[in-house]
Amino acid sequence: MFLQLLAAHYVGDFLLQTDGVYALKKQSFWGIFLHAVIVFITTAFFMSNYTLNGQRLYFLGMVFLTHLIIDSNKIKIAKTWNVNAYLLFSCDQLLHVLVIFLISVGWGDT
């Protein structure tokens, strides 16, 4: 399950994040929102072999919400602080992977 969630993250976060979406993310909250929706849909697709129930819907919602929060804060930090871009990117990805791990533990076989 962890590998499925991780693959979904990387497809949504890299392969499906076009230059246009990235530029929109830097300009407005709605760009970040759109990106989080793309990651949510990608995750739902990758996890479609699991029967959807209330708990799994909750975890899919957490994928969306945490991605929105992490990316919003990353953009805010990039605009206001003088932080090394590679360090900021690494922290961003580390947080996403940590969330994915926690969700995969919670999702389990329920």
Q: What is the pLDDT of residue 54?
A: 76
Rounded CA gap, 65 and 70, in Å?
9
- What is the structure's pLDDT at 109? 54
Q: What is the DSSP string of 41-55?
A: HHHHHHTTTSPP-HH
pLDDT of residue 80: 92
Find the length of the chain: 110
Low-confidence spans in the chain with pLDDT less than 70: 51-52, 107-110
What pLDDT shows up at residue 12? 93
Q: Write down the pTM of the prediction.
A: 0.87
Range of the domain at 30: 2-107
- Residue 55, CB-side half-sphere exposure with 13 Å CA sphere: 10
Q: Per the structure, how many domains does the chain have?
A: 1
What are the pLDDT digits (tens) for 74-89? 999 998 998 898 999 9
